[in-house]
Amino acid sequence: MRTTSTTPARPVLIAALALTTAGSLLLTPHPAGADPKPAPTRHEPALDRRAAQAPASAAARALGIDAPAGRPITGYPREQVLSPDPENPADKSLKLGLTPYHAIAPKLNALQALGDRVSVEVTGKSAGGHRLYLVTVTAPETDRQARAQERMRDLIENAPATAAKSAEIKASYKAPVFFNNNIHGNEWEGTDASLKLIEQLATAKDKRTADLLAHSRLYFNITANPDGRIAGTRANANGFDLNRDFVTASQPETRVMRQIEIDKQPAVMLDLHGYVNGTLIEPTTPPHGENYEYDLFLKNTYANALGMEAAVNGLGYTPAKDGVEPAQIPFRDQQEGWDDWPPIFTPQYAAFHGTVAAHTVEIPLQVNNSAYTSLPVEELRRRSAVNTAVAGAAIRATLDFVQARRASLVADQIEVFRRGAAGAAQVPVSEKTVPGVPGIGPEDVYTTTFPRAYVIPAGRTAAARLVDHLLANDIRVTRATKAFHLSGRTYAKGSYVVDMHQPKRGLANVLLADGRDISDKVSVMYDISGWSLGRLWGAEVTAAPTGRLTGLPLRSVDKATSVGRVAPHGDLGLRLDDPAAIAALNSLLQQGVPVRTTADGGTAIVPASARPKAMALARTHDVAFDATRLTGTTPLHRTRVAAAVTPGELFALREMNFEVTPVSTAVLNAGYDWSATDVLMVSTGLEYTDLTAPARTALDAFLAKPEGHGLVGRGIGGAELSTATGLLAAKPVEGNGDANGVVRMVNAGPITTGTPGYGFVYAPVWFTDLGPQVRVEQSYATGNPLLSGHWRPLEDGTGGPSAAAGRPSVISGPHAVLFGTEPLFRDHPKGEFPQVARALFNMAAVKESG
């Protein structure tokens, strides 16, 4: 369940071959007792369609475009024998009668052996080290035919105006369709429905199936989250909800899905989830993402939803007999509460890569969480069988939709890219612009104004990180070879420019723009409503609203220029304004290098004797060690953290190379040795009142030592522990628990100085009634502090942004630092990470400074 140009073009490959045309879908099961024949084994090329070898055609050369170089493109099938995984009797799928992870590799080997339609590639590994499998089902292709498909696919994205006129594409292009399964590990059945369907497609003898596979490539991400599938958890082994990670892409599974979107460029995709009864099929309620071409998206998504609804209801399940309610389409059946505003969800992210029909499908009958442990096995297996059938019906209906509308789907994908490349205006939805979709009203109209370009000044680690992130998302970036003038401002040589006349302008804008305050649009949002990398990642990002890029000294880049360096002489200064710098500092401290910080805590002074170590770290973390004559004031030491925090916070702490031991109420009650801990960080999972008397005594002793050990608290959980232990005299005030977004901040103390004047909140907290020893490190801005997101007052008028305005958001004292913001939220707001690092160093230093 979701629970919420002047830019030089990249290589374009022009279609040169026409393939056999085809026609709708009828699946014939594999005949019982058939003798499958083995197929030859091949190695699948790396998942990177732009690394292909193919000569540029005359049309490509006429456009001034060269062919990419790299591994050759081979035809289909692309088969390989997968080694088996050890049998795991603890796999949670087994209880449900579903396919355990260890049975997937043998199953895929068997499917490849059924004929010449099924190919398997390993696209990467999960956080827990399990292989991720992508299955391609299509009619066989020669190497030459496969190269032709790649040429057409590149043409669609990179020269869409030409692609729109291409007779080869209209006749021969295989529409890419993507089925993403099991992204939430304990929402299992999409995997099993896909495996069943792949077997049917592999062996069906009817003309309609042959026609479908001659005109499309079907991609199945068999299990996007094998860690969770095995463990029966929503999250992966790192504790991350992968369906919230597409803006940040912190997890390996997310990066694999991102690359599939880029390389395969699906026109249609389903993301199979559970459990909502009746089956929930997107499109969604408002607000709708303002950065994608919603008119094209709604037209196709609604039409496919109707087909899936008919197929699911056509299975004949009833509320009385089976406990299955009729399917529902939120756009039609709900007012609000299931939106497609943030691109953190798989279908919404897919839209930015040209997917014009993308759906979350929530199958109906719960088998996870409390149901998994409380229901009899027979009932769980009955439900899982129903869910598998429902998922299969949705997939099959989608294939019928693709077969019936292949030409228009491809044309609409081309139009998405054409609008972006041309800088064309978006088309607001209405019953006129999106015929056939009833009930469109002004509440559904969301568009934005794209700037002419974004400029990112170079020279800082944060800028390089941001540029590399944009490139990883298939966004085109250039770099200035000379100083230049744009939109009334002069920029230095080396600045990066994101030309917004590019095919994936929507994704560029969704990542770099401030976003919008949508508090007045709906009463509540499903998940986050603001996420701006331009404000939260610590890099300077400037929008150039107008201007001409023609003639500017810009050159395409495929990687950010390194900023790592080490001054050749004397002591070194390392600015602590980026998580990479914190990681480098922690490495030095763990190696015993004597480091001091400046009085404001913003710079680490590293002795000249550590230059060789600094040189290695500059390369590893891409950070700058500059010459300095400062000596520093406060010595820093290796900082060991006991952390009762969210998985995202734990991941961020480790990303900064802190030595972290997870703790909780249960861990402390079991007897925790505090001698190896310097600082306690708490946001969740540690309740003082639930501690046993010995555990409470040990915690009190740790925090009350004369030389001091500090607490870093976040949110109401951290503040309550501070209050319970008497560390900081302050009253925490909880804002609206549904509020979230990017907020304007005023930095006032050494904990926050030098970090962005923006923060992120998710259930914001602020502080009043401050004691005499409490220092305000940061406050919410006056007026309306919300820059983008959703933050309303509660029904009684309290808890809103006006109540938080001007109030302290981060405070400190001799033995505690408290955050009312979310500086490590889901490993996302990178520019805020140093605030937490400084707080931890500050508390660890208490034992020396008193």
What pLDDT does 60 receive?
38
Write down the pTM of the prediction: 0.92
What pLDDT does 503 receive?
98
What pLDDT does 633 receive?
87
- The CATH number of the structural domain formed by 640-849 is 3.40.50.880
* 425 DSSP assignment: P
pLDDT digits (tens, 9 = 90+) for 14-26: 332 222 233 333 3
pLDDT digits (tens, 9 = 90+) for 825-845: 999 999 999 999 999 999 987
Architecture in CATH of 565-635 = 2-Layer Sandwich (3.30)
Closest listed residue to residue 238, CA positions, set 226, 251, 248 = 251
Residue 552 pLDDT more than 80?
Answer: yes
Measured CA to CA, the distance from residue 239 to residue 255 in angstroms comes to: 16
| Encoded tokens for 213 | 């596979």
In the block, residue with structure tokens 């699948």:
44
pLDDT digits (tens, 9 = 90+) for 443-456: 999 999 999 999 99
What pLDDT does 689 receive?
97
Residue 13 pLDDT more than 60?
Answer: no
684-689 contacts: CB < 8 A, separation 24 or more? 684/644, 684/645, 684/646, 684/715, 684/717, 685/644, 685/645, 685/717, 686/644, 686/717, 686/721, 688/720, 688/721, 688/724, 688/725, 689/724
Query: Is the CB of residue 740 less than 8 Å from the CB of residue 529?
Result: yes
Measured CA to CA, the distance from residue 687 to residue 692 in angstroms comes to: 11
Closest listed residue to residue 344, CA positions, set 536, 526, 124, 534 = 526
> Which residues are CB-contacts of 311 (< 8 A; sequence separation ≥ 6)?
393, 394, 396, 397
Measured CA to CA, the distance from residue 762 to residue 789 in angstroms comes to: 10
Positions annotated as catalytic residues are 362
For all residues of the chain together, what is the average pLDDT? 91
What Å distances lie between residue 726 and 688, 701, 723, 802, 849, CA to CA? 12, 12, 5, 29, 20
* 707 DSSP assignment: T
Measured CA to CA, the distance from residue 325 to residue 719 in angstroms comes to: 44
Residue 41 pLDDT more than 60?
Answer: no
Where would I find the beta strands (DSSP E) of 222-356? Answer: 268-274, 280-281, 285-288, 339-340
Query: Is the CB of residue 624 less than 8 Å from the CB of residue 564?
Result: yes
Phi, psi of 260 (to 5 degrees): -60, -45
DSSP element (H, E) containing 251: none
State in words which class domain 49-422 has. alpha beta
| Encoded tokens for 767 | 């502080």
pLDDT digits (tens, 9 = 90+) for 157-184: 999 999 999 999 999 999 999 999 999 9
pLDDT digits (tens, 9 = 90+) for 770-785: 999 999 999 999 999 9
Measured CA to CA, the distance from residue 252 to residue 236 in angstroms comes to: 10
Measured CA to CA, the distance from residue 355 to residue 416 in angstroms comes to: 9
Phi, psi of 429 (to 5 degrees): -75, 145
Q: Which residue type occupies 320?
A: A
| Encoded tokens for 5 | 């140009």
What pLDDT does 71 receive?
65
Measured CA to CA, the distance from residue 427 to residue 295 in angstroms comes to: 6
* 459 DSSP assignment: S
What pLDDT does 34 receive?
33
Same fold, 565-635 and 640-849: no
pLDDT digits (tens, 9 = 90+) for 632-654: 888 998 999 999 999 999 999 99
What pLDDT does 211 receive?
98
What pLDDT does 704 receive?
86
Residue 68 pLDDT more than 50?
Answer: no
What pLDDT does 844 receive?
87
Task: Compute the average pLDDT of residues 279-294.
Answer: 97
3-state secondary structure (DSSP) of residue 408: helix
Residue 4 pLDDT more than 50?
Answer: no
What pLDDT does 70 receive?
52
CB count in 10 Å sphere of residue 831: 24
Query: Is the CB of residue 596 less than 8 Å from the CB of residue 628?
Result: no
What pLDDT does 69 receive?
43
Residue 716 pLDDT more than 80?
Answer: yes
96-100 contacts: CB < 8 A, separation 24 or more? 96/188, 96/367, 96/372, 96/380, 96/381, 96/384, 97/380, 97/381, 97/384, 97/385, 98/188, 98/189, 98/191, 98/192, 98/384, 98/388, 99/191, 99/192, 99/195, 100/230
pLDDT digits (tens, 9 = 90+) for 175-227: 999 999 999 999 999 999 999 999 999 999 999 999 999 999 999 999 999 99
Task: Compute the average pLDDT of residues 555-575.
Answer: 97
Confidence bin at 37 (pLDDT 50/70/90): very low
What pLDDT does 707 receive?
66
In the block, residue with structure tokens 């374009």:
12
Task: Compute the average pLDDT of residues 664-685.
Answer: 97
Residue 795 pLDDT more than 50?
Answer: yes
Task: Compute the average pLDDT of residues 691-712.
Answer: 89
pLDDT digits (tens, 9 = 90+) for 585-594: 999 999 999 9
Domain spans in the chain, listed from the N-terminal domain onward: 49-422, 453-556, 565-635, 640-849
| Encoded tokens for 261 | 């979107």
With pLDDT > 90 as the criterion, what percentage of the chain qualifies?
89
Residue 695 pLDDT more than 80?
Answer: yes
As a dihedral over the C-alpha atoms of residue 186, residue 190, residue 191, residue 194, rounded to 10 degrees, the angle is: 180
The β-bridge partners of 453 are: 499, 544
Closest listed residue to residue 453, CA positions, set 423, 408, 432 = 423
